[in-house]
């Protein structure tokens, strides 16, 4: 049984733009998938359709065999991490991380246990009571990761999460993402236009161009003909 399947998924925006065409992909649990391709090729649209932020125009998206096409984002087993972190500036780090759990109605005590664990996992204990705008880009992205993981998603969707970081931090967070993949055993779908990121992070790379999949290859076969 696949963890995530996209079957002939397509997206045509209201203005007629065919952003994604016949997207077919099957992902096993724990796999790290990268969507790689130039700006405008449909990576983010595909990710947003999996998250439920964008309606699909055709096809089916399944998680563990069940179609999720009609579920709203909050009822999908996914979390999305954005390039610009999308943190709440007026809330502390702790509250930002626990926000999704608050929405789900967990008690303060239940939230605290999970949040403390994530603060430790992502080395954020020292900044737990600060506000995100006082913190570095790397810390902010760790907070966003912790917030996404707090709701225990089956699938973590990452939209160019390293794009706003400098080269050193990018390496650090890359390494942390690999550790999270190994320890959590959840599925990662990662959007990037940087080949180096796709090569060093992913188990398979989906190369996209003008809304279509050009090839799907493990990193060591990216430059080999099938
Ligand atoms: P990428 O993430 O690879 O940069 P996108 O998925 O953002 O690509 O965009 C794919 C195509 O869809 C582009 O032609 C883009 O201009 C178009 N597009 C994206 N969002 C919208 C939208 N909300 N309305 C209309 N067209 C859009
Ligand atoms: P990215 O390349 O990272 O996908 P963009 O800068 O292309 O980001 O898009 C930023 C936002 O604008 C997204 O929400 C996207 O859906 C929207 N967008 C992109 N292209 C169009 C378009 N042609 N018409 C309307 N909205 C668009």
Cα–Cα–Cα angle for 140, 112, 137, rounded to 5 degrees: 5
> From CA 59, how far away is CA 127, in angstroms rounded?
44
Secondary element (H or E) of residue 49: helix 43-51
> From CA 127, how far away is CA 160, in angstroms rounded?
24
ipTM of the complex: 0.80
**Ligand 1 near 43 CB (within 6 A):** yes
Per-residue pLDDT tens over the stretch 123-169: 999 999 999 998 999 999 999 999 999 999 999 999 999 998 899 88
Residue 226 has pLDDT above 90, yes or no: no
Q: Which ligand lies nearest to the CA atom of residue 15 in the structure? A: 1
CA 4 – ligand 2 centroid, Å? 25
> From CA 194, how far away is CA 154, in angstroms rounded?
25
Per-residue pLDDT tens over the stretch 29-48: 999 999 999 999 999 999 99
pLDDT given for residue 143 in this prediction: 96
- Closest ligand 2 atom to the C-alpha of 191? 3
């Amino acid at each position: 049984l696949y963890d995530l399947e996209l079957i002939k998924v397509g997206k045509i925006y209201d203005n007629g733009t065919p952003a994604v065409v016949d997207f077919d992909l099957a992902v096993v649990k724990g796999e790290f998938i990268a969507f790689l391709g130039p700006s405008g090729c449909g990576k983010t649209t595909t990710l947003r359709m999996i998250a439920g932020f964008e309606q699909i125009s055709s096809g089916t998206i399944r998680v563990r065999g069940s179609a999720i096409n009609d579920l709203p984002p909050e009822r999908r087993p996914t979390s999305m991490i954005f390039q610009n972190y999308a943190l709440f500036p007026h809330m502390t780090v702790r509250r930002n991380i626990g926000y999704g759990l608050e929405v789900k109605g967990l008690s303060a005590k239940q939230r605290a246990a999970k949040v403390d664990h994530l603060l430790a996992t992502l080395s954020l204990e020292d900044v737990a009571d600060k506000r995100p705008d006082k913190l570095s880009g790397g810390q902010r992205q760790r907070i966003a990761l912790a917030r996404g993981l707090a709701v225990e998603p089956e699938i973590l969707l990452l939209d160019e999460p390293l794009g706003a970081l400098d080269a050193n931090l990018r390496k650090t967070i890359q390494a942390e993402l690999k550790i999270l993949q190994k320890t959590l055993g959840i599925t990662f779908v990662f959007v990037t236009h940087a080949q180096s990121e796709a090569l060093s992070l992913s188990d398979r790379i989906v190369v996209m161009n003008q809304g279509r999949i050009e090839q799907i290859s493990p990193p060591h076969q990216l430059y080999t003909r099938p």
